[in-house]
Structure 1
């Protein structure tokens, strides 16, 4: 039996080999009634700075539903600020019960002119997915496993494990 061409050796991807990126938890901030965890990722040595963080928080204010707390919302979410190789990416994420909502924003490198990414655009890269995975696990541990007494403080103070670049 001849192997299907689908299972033959794939073409090489037009990308560099995977390397961890600097990822740091920047703490929690309050905005528009929401408590938001801030996670920064850098393709190079510089994490997103204050101007980029402020632009991300302004984008979040436009996306986050109001009121922050409702029957299905605890007013908690997170922002991923990723200074990548081609753009500044901002993921605005919030929890409603067991569902994660996300909006993606993009700015050209060196600017803070964030624009929404259209629905047919990307969702997240492998480095951002690492942060999302941590947030999923923390939400389960501190909130969903204890619905009668959710530990929102525990969730908000659980920073992701940093993935460090090799020096």
Structure 2
């Protein structure tokens, strides 16, 4: 086991995929955040994963030590649906991680927790007037994670 080191974690913006509004979060084991190719590959996986009805989701694109990891996460009221995808380093062949495989690493969990806190603050705490714009703009992870 290697010692824990913080990883660079940043918002990479918001995009539309069909009826979905998707926050994109980048995490990097080294100095460079995921590049446009990594993000495009991740969004293609998200497009395949997200149901047709639309809503709000977030995608974590992590350039890790051993792979490119992509967490596709979507909100449905107070429930988070999540699926993990993986590609070999330098490869674009993302594949779904089997259901009995990992769900997330400690760095992705920190990003997921940040999204959870933002969802509670901007949406669940305001059931009669949810602030989806505020949620999408929230960047609770603006430093090393």
Please give the TM-score of this superposition, normalised by the length of structure 2. 0.97
Q: How does 1:67-86 map to 2 (within 5 A)?
A: 67-68=53-54, 75-86=55-66
Distance 2:65 2:143 in 1: 17
Where do 4+ consecutive residues of structure 1 move more than 3 Å? none
Tell me the matched-pair count.
145
**Larger gyration radius, structure 1 or structure 2:** 1
In structure 2, runs of 5+ residues without a counterpart are none
- Describe the superposition over 1:105-148 as per-residue Cα deviations: whole angstroms up to 9, x where unpaired: 00000111100000000000000001000000000001001111
Alignment gaps of 5+ in structure 1: 1-14, 69-74
Q: Answer yes or no: is 1:63 the counterpart of 2:49.
A: yes
Alignment of 1:76-155 (within 5 A): 76-155=56-135
Matched residue, 1:29: 15
Does the aligned pair in 1 maintain the 2:118–2:140 contact within 8 Å?
no
